[in-house]
Chains A and B, each alone.
Chain A
Amino acid sequence: GAVVSQHPSWVICKSGTSVKIECRSLDFQATTMFWYRQFPKQSLMLMATSNEGSKATYEQGVEKDKFLINHASLTLSTLTVTSAHPEDSSFYICSAARQGAWGNQPQHFGDGTRLSIL
């Protein structure tokens, strides 16, 4: 299989706190990882694409200084929500694509992180 582990599964913290979310591919190497945000009853919205060893590519409207992404190895990417505010509360999901795979490949998703900012 292709297992992606995301941690933590939920976070509740005060406004102004920075929160780090980890995404790990457990049984495969992932050249590319993706970070999504999902609001209730809405679709997944791509925030950024994370490539191992290089800077992330952010989608239009996503603040790169607000959502820091690091992809230090082929099995780990992290998303840090800096100085989080209530409007950042959402469901954040990561996914990973296998190393060497290019195009026509499924993405393997973590189980998401529910972030609640008080």
Chain B
Amino acid sequence: SQKIEQNSEALNIQEGKTATLTCNYTNYSPAYLQWYRQDPGRGPVFLLLIRENEKEKRKERLKVTFDTTLKQSLFHITASQPADSATYLCALGDAGNMLTFGGGTRLMVKP
């Protein structure tokens, strides 16, 4: 069965450092992968989308890589700030707009 794994343990880093979150998947061939941010009691907010034929995508302080051979995506936040503290979800998508979400990783950026 399809499985998407994100580190369930919280990631604690110091302000100004680069946060790196991992998303691994098995038994899946996604057409694309998305990353979302979710704050407590709120709905997810879309951050980045990367397609299966793309290796890397950037947006401001965010960078996503996608390795379909390793079946892994890495999500980087450079120059992290306390305001970046949230849960980050990766989601794999098929051609029909259907998304399957990972369990999310909570990021805590300490001042």
A interface vs B, CB < 8 Å? 4, 6, 32, 34, 42-44, 46, 49, 91, 93, 95, 97, 101-112, 114
B interface vs A, CB < 8 Å? 31-32, 34, 36, 41-46, 49, 51, 89, 93-104
Whole-angstrom distance between the alpha carbons of A101 and B49 in the complex? 14
Neighbouring B residues of A4 by C-beta, 8 Å: 43
Whole-angstrom distance between the alpha carbons of A5 and B23 in the complex? 29
Q: How many A-B residue pairs have CB under 8 A?
A: 61
Residue contact A103 to B95, C-beta cutoff 8 Å? yes
Residue contact B104 to A43, C-beta cutoff 8 Å? yes
Residue contact A44 to B31, C-beta cutoff 8 Å? no
Whole-angstrom distance between the alpha carbons of A101 and B46 in the complex? 16
Neighbouring A residues of B97 by C-beta, 8 Å: 32, 97, 101-103, 105, 107
Residue contact B43 to A49, C-beta cutoff 8 Å? no
Residue contact A104 to B103, C-beta cutoff 8 Å? no
Whole-angstrom distance between the alpha carbons of A49 and B43 in the complex? 17
Q: A103-B95, A106-B34 are in contact. Are A43 and B102 (CB under 8 A)?
A: yes
Q: Which residue of B lies closest to A101 (CB)?
A: B97
Neighbouring B residues of A112 by C-beta, 8 Å: 41-43
Neighbouring A residues of B99 by C-beta, 8 Å: 34, 46, 107
